[in-house]
Each structure stands twice: as C-alpha cells, then as structure tokens.
Amino acid sequence: MDELWPSKPTEGFAGVALPVAGLDRLIPMHLHVSASGQILGIGATLAKIVGGARMPTASSESGQHFFDLFEVRRPSGVTEMVHVRCHEGKRLHVALRGGGAEFRGLAVADAFGGMVMNLSFGIGVADAVQAHALTDADFAATDLTVELLYLVEVKRAVMDELQRLNLRLQGAKSKAEEQALTDTLTGLRNRRALDLGLAQAVLSAQPFALMHLDLDRFKQVNDSWGHAAGDKVLQVVARLLSGETRSGDLVARVGGDEFVILMPGMADPSRLRAVATRIIAALARPISVEATMCQIGGSIGLTVSTHYETPAPEVMLRDADLALYAAKHAGRGQVVVFSKDLAMGEGTSADGPAF
C-alpha cells in the first residue's frame, strides 16, 4: 500500500534514517502513525502498556487506527490526523481509550506525511509504572524516570521520618509542660513547684511561713477592661510580689488571682505581719494598664510552721486559707495570722486594717 509505506520522502526533507530497533531504544514509548492515522510502529514499552494493540506485521494488512486506540483529550477537537498535524510540536494530552493510561504527547511529522509521536507519563509516572509492571529496561538509558521514582520514594521516607519526629517532639513538649514549675503568664512558680517547695521545707526542719494572698476587686478589672487587662495586672502583681519578698522565698500563683508565698527560715509573726502589710499597701496602689488605672487590693492569711508539732503541707495550706477567709470576712486589705481560735470557727481575729 503506497499510502502506508511510501517509498519517496517528501521533497526537500532532510532527516535521519533510523532502523526501527534504534528508534525503539531511543524512544521506547513512541508511535509511528501514517498520514491516514494507521499505526505503523509502536515502541516496546508503549506496546506493553497498550497490550492488545495489533501491530502491522508482514502478515497483517494494516495496523490499528490511532484514534481507535487513543483519544486526544487536550486540545479539544483533535479527532483526525490533520488536527494532530496542526498541533505539531505542541504538548498533547493523550489517553488510552477505555482508560488505563494517560500520557502527555509530542508529535512531529515524518518524511512521508505521517507523524512520529512520543508519549510519557508526566506526574502520574509512579502509578503507571506500578500498574503496568514496568522495569528499568522499559525506559531509555537517558530517561530520568527511575531517578524520579527514587525521589518519590526518598521523599516518602523522609516525610515519614519527619512525621515521627514531630510526634516525638509533641510528646516531649506535653511531658515538659506537665513537669514545668513555672506559671507561664506571670513567670512565678506554679502549684506543682509550691508542693515540691513545701515538701522540702517540711523535711528541712527549719521554721517557715506560708502566706495565702487573694486579690480584691480583680474580677471587676476583668469584667470592665477585659482579660488582656486582667493578665497585665497579674503580671504587675507578680513583679511586685517578687520585689517585696526575699530571693529565697517561693512565690507561686496557685489560681486565677490567688498566690501563695513560702518563706523559709521565717516564723516571727510580727515580722511576717510587717511584710504582709507592705505587700497589701503596694497592691492598694492603682495599676496603670494602657490608658486605664486599675484599682485592686489584697487580703492575706498566713501561718507559721512553729504552730505545729509536726507541720504538714496540706494542714498548713488549709490553715493559711482559713486565715485568708477570716481576713476577707473582716473587710478587704487585712492580714490575719492563723490561730487555734480560727480553726475552731470562733470568728475572726483580724488585726485591723493593715494600713
């Protein structure tokens, strides 16, 4: 058939004549299509993928028609060989009819009015290699597909490892938070640090004092100026408490606006009262937060270890709390030192206004 196997190249056509096997080695996913659309040749790798495509052999009259086996999805309207010619040298999106494989393609004219088309998998290459059980030998020696597959696998391995690292870091972070001794808002010690400090104080057999401080009118700050202002006030209070205590004292924030101060080596009620009074005086000064002045105050209940035969942390905390309750009951801005009367519920023994 003249049309299928023209013997004369198009006039003025200078090109390269290649044996089919050579073309196959260079471009194992090529198609050679006649001007009428019949498949004259197909690369070994592409043949493997197409599977059932009938090839022109000496015995077969003609190959299958390109558009019977493939469809050109993009650009649209490419349904005949003349259309393919119009898109010579441009990227085509080609799919196997009946599904199973999609390719990007590039077609150029041969010397006889037909086209040579090269196909590749594009980004779906890993799935295609898997689906068609392709091997290294199915790709040209210059093809970077195998390197791409290597990279896909490397990326997956590294991502998996990073994910594991993130999980471990997350675990370590929550563990660290659990073990933290600092109140993140104020930088003071937290409840856990207080418990540890108290246990140590009890073991040390040295006298110590425990102050329980509760802010007055703090709720109003939060309600009127918002939580951001409330947080700022707490930070100012924290600085103030640190300033009014010794470096060996432990100042802990144990609740929203509640603080406990552990003072090792300190058991003299009059000195303690003086310290507490100073703190309350300082708290009574208005605190400026941005454009507003916040007026708060504080009440303190305190107890000393020498009150007890064997001081126990939980008992002392409770007693300091009882004293604080009494202080609040007696009016704001008070200091109350715990006594047995308080424990028996015999009213308050407030020492009167502290300032």
Partner 1 sequence: MLGLINRALEDFLKRRHGSAVWQRVVLRAQLPFDSFEPLLSYDPALTETVIRAACVELGRPRESILEDLGTTLVSHHDRDGLRRLLRFGGVTFRDFLHSLEELPNRARLALPDLHLPTIVLEDRGGGQFTIRALPPFAGAGFILIGLLRAMADDYGALVLLDMMPSEREEDVISVLLLDEAHSEGRKFDLALRAS
Q: Could you tell me the smallest distance in angstroms from the CB atom of residue 155 to partner 1?
A: 8
| Bridge pairing between strands 335-337 and 297-304 | parallel
Which one of 110, 249, 257, 319 is the catalytic residue? 257
169 vs 205, which CB is nearer to partner 1? Answer: 169
Q: Could you tell me the smallest distance in angstroms from the CB atom of residue 149 to partner 1?
A: 5
Q: Could you tell me the smallest distance in angstroms from the CB atom of residue 100 to partner 1?
A: 16
What residues contact residue 315 under an 8 Å CB cut-off, 6+ apart? 308
146 vs 229, which CB is nearer to partner 1? Answer: 146
Applying CB under 8 A, which residues contact partner 1? 126-127, 129-130, 133-137, 146-147, 149-154, 157-158, 161-162, 165, 168
Q: Is 249 considered catalytic here?
A: no
How many CA atoms, within 13 angstroms, populate the side-chain half-sphere of residue 102? 9
The residue behind tokens 């400026």 is 288
Residue 280 exposed, middle or buried by CB count within 10 Å (0-12, 13-18, 19+): buried
Helix 269-284, helix 218-244: angle, nearest 10: 130
The residue behind tokens 């040749």 is 41
170 vs 220, which CB is nearer to partner 1? Answer: 170
Q: Could you tell me the smallest distance in angstroms from the CB atom of residue 129 to partner 1?
A: 4
20 vs 151, which CB is nearer to partner 1? Answer: 151
Q: Residue 75, preceding bond cis, omega within 30 degrees?
A: yes
The terminus-to-terminus CA distance of the chain in angstroms comes to: 118
Tell me the catalytic residues. Answer: 257
